[in-house]
Amino acid sequence: MSESTPSFFHRIGLAFGAFFGILFNGELAARVQRLRQTGAHGGPETAPPQPILKETGPEAALQLLGLLQRDGRFIDFIEEDIASYSDADIGAATRVVHEGCRKVLHEHFTLAPVCTEAEGSAITLEAGFDASAIRLTGNVMGQAPFRGSLGHRGWRVTAVRLPRLAERHDARVLAPAEVEL
Amino acid sequence: MSDALYAIGIDLGTTHCALSSVDLGASEGEQASQQVMTIPQLTAPGTVEDLLLLPSFLYVPHPSELAPGDLSLPWTADQDYAVGEMARSRGAQTPIRLVSSAKSWLCHAGVDRRAPILPSEAPEEVARLSPLEASVRFLGHLREAWNHAHPEAPFEQQEITVTIPASFDPAARELTAEASAAAGYGQMTLLEEPQAALYSWIQGSTGRWRDQLKVGDIILVVDIGGGTTDLSLIAAVERDGNLEPHRVAVGDHILLGGDNMDLTLAHVVAAKLAGQDIRLDAWQLRALTHACRGAKEALLGHAETEVVPVVVPSRGSKLIGGSIRTELTREEIGRTVLEGFFPSVDSSARPLSRARTALTQLGLPYAQDTAITRHLAAFLGRQLGATHALEGFAAPTIPGATFLHPTAVLFNGGVLKARILADRIVETLNVWLAAEGAPPVRVLEGADLDLAVARGAAYYSYVRRGGGVRIRGGTASAFYVGIESAMPAVPGLEPPVQALCIAPFGLEEGTQAELPPQELGLVVGEPVRFRFFGSSVRRQDQVGTLLEAWESDEIQELGEIEANLPAEGRAPGEIVPVRLRAMVTETGTLRLEALPRGGGEHWKVELEVRGGTPS
C-alpha cells in the first residue's frame, strides 16, 4: 500500500461517506464486509488468511429436495425409469413436476438475471468486473475492457426464503410414507 | 387508547385470514403508511413458513400422528393443533380431523355455536370444537404472530378492526366480538367486508376518489370469496358540504364462492373420465379439484387459450405410470362456471329455491341456486327504495324502474381476479340498466382483490381516530321482536305473531334507540324466549311500530333471543312488565336490554341462545 494515512478531518468526511455508502449501496457493503472479515484486526499488515473450503450443511439441501418432492413430485419423477414410457405420458407427468417445482422455486427464491441485456447482443466488460458472476469463454486473452457477445444471461438469487424447521425435525425424510387407515 | 402505535385490520375470512397495519406515527390525513404482515404458520410437520394469507383451517391431529415438536411455532412449542396451510393440506386427506368454514357455522342460527360440533363429520374419539372456539384460535394465531413480529407494540394495545360479512346477523356479530375478546383483543371494532373493500379503494386512490365519485352515485360492491358471496350498496351523499359514502343496503348471506366452482369443474371432468371407464377415488378427486382450480385460472385468465391439460397425479411413487391425463376446454368452463354461476339473466330473474327438508339444517345452509347473477337481480330488485329517503342524496329516481340502478361497481374477492367473470357481471348489469334507460356502470379500478379487506380494515382503524373519510350508514336492518296476539286458540293454527319494531334501520354505532311504548311480560327467574326478526328493506318503521302482516321476503326470522330476569327482590314466577331497548355498541354489535317498569335497573337480553333451534 503506497497511500499515506489520511488526515483526521479527511477521515471524518470519509467516515460519513462510508456510512451512507454502506447503508445504501449493497455492493459496497459486501466489499466492506469482506475487508472486515479478511483483515479486521491488522488491516494490510496482517498475513493473508489461509484459503479455507467451507463445508455446507446438508440441512438446507435436504429441505429443498423435500419441498420439490412435496409440491412437484421431483424425486418420484427423477427416480422413475422413463425408458418404457411414451413421450406423451412423460409430458403429462412433466406438467405436475413443472408446475410444482416452479411454485417452490418462486416461493422460496427471488431470481434475477445476472446480465439484463438480450442474449446474443454485444457486451463490454470493464476492468474489475465480477468474475464470480460472469464467466469468460473462447478467446480469453488481452486486457480489459473485454468485448464479446452475451451467450447466457445467468441467474442470480436475490432473496432466499426457506422455511424454518423444528429443532428435532428430520430433514432426511424427503417424503413420509403414506398409510391410509 | 392513545398509546396505540398501529392501527390493525384483520380479515377473518371463510377460507383465508389476513392482517394489515397502518403505522400511526408515519401517517397523516389520507396518507397512511400501510403494510400487510406475513403470517408464520406450519406448512408441513415441523416446518414454519411466512405467508401473506393464513388459510382458515384447523387440524386436530391424532396423538400418534406426528413426532414431538412437529407442531411448534416460533412462539409456542405446546399447542396440540395446527392452523393455516398445513391444516388445510393435511385436512384434505383426513377430513374427519379438519375444521373448515368455521365462519359459516358461526352465522348458522340453526346450531348452537358455543357447542363442540366441529369437525361435523368427526367420529366420537376426535375432540370437537365449537365454531366460536375455532374462531378464537384463528384470531389468537394472528395475535401471537403480531406479538412475535412486533414485541415493541403489544397487540392488545393497538387499534384493531375485525371484518365480518355485511350479511352477518346480530347474533353472529356478537359471537365474533366474543371470540375476539376471548382471543385477547382489546380495542376492537367490527367492520363489514364490502365497506372494508371500499375503504381500501379510497385509500389506494390517495385522495383522487373524490374525482371519481359524485353525489348521487350508487356503488355496488360485489365480493365473491372462496366460500361466500356478499353484496352491498353504498351511496355517495353530501354531508356538511363534503362527499361522504353512505352504506344503504346489504344482501343476504349467500354460501356460494370459488370453491363451489372448482368442485363443480372437478365433477365435470370426473364425469368425462368416467366415460372413458376411469374411476377416481376420493384422494384423486381432491387432486383433480386442485388441478381444476389451476386450469380454471389459466383458461379464465387467457382469452386465447382453448384447452388446458389437467393431470391427476398418481398417489404412489410411480408418477409417470400412474398419472391420469385429461383436459379442460374453454367450452366446458364457459358452460360450467360462466353459465352455471354467472348466467346472463333478466333483471326480473330470482333465485330458485327448493323447500328444505329438516335434515339439511344439520349441515351448512349452502345456496340452492348457484347463479350469482340471479341473487344480484333479487338484491337490486328488493332494494329499489333504498335511497328514497336518503338525506343529501340528489339523484333523480327514474320512473318505472324495477330495481335500484347502481352507477359504479367495486369488485372484491379472489374469484373476480378472472376478468371474464367480472366482465360478465358488468355486461349483465348494463343490459338491465339499458332496458330501463339508465347509463352503464363504471368499474372502480385498482383494488387488490385478495388483500383489500385486511387493508381497508386497517385503514378504518386509522380513520376512526380522525384520519380520513368515513363510511356511514348504521345498521342495515330494522329489528323486531315477535309478540303473540291475544286471540282465542284455534286448533291446528299457530297464533298469529305481530312484529314490534325495537330498532329502526340505520341505527348508528354508539347510539341507542328510543324505548318502545309497548311492554312485554317477563317471568321472574325463568328464561323467556322471544322470536326475533330483521328487515333489510323496511326503512320507515320507527320504534314501537307494530306490524300485523308483512310480505315473506320483507322480514326474515333470526335466531331467538332470550331474556332472563333474576329473582333478586322478586317472587319467582311473578310476571314483570318490561320494555326492550336496543343500542349499537362502539364495537358494532347490537345490544338489547330489558328495563322493568319504574326502576333504574336493566338486564341484558341474549341474542344467541344456547341450545340452537327451539325445541
> Min CA distance, B310 vs chain A (Å)?
8
Whether B573 and chain A come into contact, CB under 8 Å, resolves to no
d(CA B347, CA B379): 10
Side-by-side strand order, sheet with B39-44 = A164-165, B47-51, B39-44
Measured in angstroms, the CA of A117 and the nearest CA of chain B are apart by: 28
DSSP structural state of residue A138: S
How far is the C-alpha of B65 from the C-alpha of B388, rounded, in Å?
Answer: 60
Contact at CB, B69 and A169, closer than 8 angstroms: yes
Where is mean pLDDT largest: A45-59, B121-135, B599-613?
B121-135
pLDDT at B80: 92
The residue in chain A having the minimum alpha-carbon distance to the alpha carbon of residue B51 is A107
Residue A118 grid coordinates: 438480450
Do residue A70 and residue B68 have CB atoms under 8 angstroms apart?
A: no
pTM of the model: 0.84
* Model pLDDT, residue A45: 54
Separation in Å, CA of A161 to nearest CA in chain B = 8
Does the CB of A135 have a partner CB in chain B at under 8 Å?
no
Hey, are the CB atoms on A169 and B46 less than 8 Å from each other? yes
Q: What does R_g of chain B's alpha carbons equal in angstroms?
A: 25
Q: How confident is the model at residue B362 (pLDDT cuts 50, 70, 90)?
A: low
Which residues of chain A from 87 to 116 reach within 8 Å of chain B, CB to CB? 88-90, 92-93, 95-97, 99
- B547-598 residue pLDDT tens: 988 888 889 888 888 888 777 777 778 888 888 999 999 888 999 998 887 7
Residue A16 pLDDT grade (very low, low, confident, very high; cuts 50, 70, 90): low
Q: Is the pLDDT of residue B150 over 50?
A: yes
Q: Cβ of A76 and B318 within 8 Å?
A: yes
- C-alpha B480/C-alpha B535 separation (Å) is 8
Q: How far apart are CA B467 and CA B7, in angstroms?
A: 11
Q: Which of A173, A75, A107, A151 is nearest to B318 (CA)?
A: A75
Of A70, A92, A168, the CB nearest to B323: A92
Q: What's the CA dihedral at B493, B495, B498, B499 to 10 degrees? A: -80
pLDDT confidence band for B450 (50 / 70 / 90): confident
Neighboring chain A residues of B283 at a CB cutoff of 8 Å: 180
Residues of B within 8 A of A93 (CB-CB) are: 311, 313, 319-320, 323
Beta bridge partners of residue B561, listed in sequence order: B530
Q: Which amino acid is at B35?
A: Q
- Name the DSSP letter for residue B474: -
In which region does residue B16 sit, left (phi positive, over 0), alpha (psi from -120 to 50) or beta (all else)? beta
Q: Which of B292, B314, B293, B192 is nearest to B245 (CA)?
A: B192
Average pLDDT over residues B476-497: 78
Nearest CA in chain B to A76: B317
d(CA B44, CA B71): 9
- Beta carbons within 10 angstroms of residue B31's beta carbon: 13
Q: What is the DSSP letter of A22?
A: H
ipTM above 0.95, yes or no: no
In terms of Cβ atoms closer than 10 Å to its own Cβ (0-12, 13-18, 19+), residue B535 is: buried
Strand partners, B6: B23
Which of B72, B283, B319 shows the shortest C-beta gap to A73?
B319
CA B609 from centre of chain: 21
Distance CA B17, CA A179 (A): 31
Of A70, A80, A88, the CB nearest to B318: A80
What pLDDT digit, counting tens, does each position of A59-93 carry? 899 999 999 999 999 999 999 999 989 998 898 88
Record the cell numbers describing residue B266, joined without a space.
372437478
Identify all chain B residues contacting A89, using CB atoms and an 8 Å cutoff: 320-321, 323, 325
Q: Which residues of A49-63 are buried (b: 16+ CB within 10 A; e: fewer)?
A: eeeeeeeeeeeeebb
Query: Is A167 in contact with B69 (Cβ distance < 8 A)?
Result: yes
B179 Rama sector, left if φ>0, alpha if ψ -120 to 50, beta otherwise:
alpha
**H or E segment to which residue A59 belongs:** helix A58-72
Q: How far apart are CA B208 and CA B223, in angstroms?
A: 23
Contacts of B294 in chain A (CB under 8 A): 99
Q: How many angstroms separate the CA atoms of B469 and B243, rounded?
A: 9
